[in-house]
Chain A
Amino acid sequence: IVMTQTPLSLSVTPGQSASISCKSSQSLLHSDGKTHLCWYLQKPGQSPQLLIYEVSNRFSGVPDRFSGSGSGTDFTLKISRVEAEDVGVYYCMQNKELPTCGQGTKVEIQ
């Protein structure tokens, strides 16, 4: 399954919102009824950290400024009220089949 993210880079003013799109080459709806799409943030010099799983579920400790939505093949990560600590590269990943990631979206603060 090929994952395509847009945009590849984003410059955001603190306090404003940002959205990242992720499209899959086939539906991520599994026979178990779940849609297996995750979002990660990789901060500079760190390992990827899970933000959202199964499209819209925030992982433990993730601020509610982060929200995920979508279905089928089209998904969106929204960051409300962007803060300086949100800089890094965001990846979507599907694990309906053998996991594959998008190319990443680099988020910078203006």
Chain B
Amino acid sequence: AQKITQTQPGMFVQEKEAVTLDCTYDTSDPSYGLFWYKQPSSGEMIFLIYQGSYDQQNATEGRYSLNFQKARKSANLVISASQLGDSAMYFCAMREGYAGNNRKLIWGLGTSLAVNP
């Protein structure tokens, strides 16, 4: 079973509007971390935002916020006031547990976002 599911292969948004990229996850571990990364066409993977499973508040970083709904196991990324430079692939990833140092990041398949002028 997929541990990280990103159901939107591609999304379009108008410049200056907000957009939500979906991510659902599956784990039985009470301790986990959720990450969003941006990958522009240049190929570099850019860290955007992190949410810990015990964090009480939704994470925010500038124009990025994470809509964390623990009971639904969803961690959607919200980008406010979209800019042309936001056009990229966006990956959701999860890391489980505190036991040991060798837990892999589990990646979704990504969502391609295109911002229209």
Whether A and B are associated in the same complex: the answer reads no
Task: Write the residues of chain B forming the contact surface with A, with a CB cutoff of 8 angstroms.
Answer: none
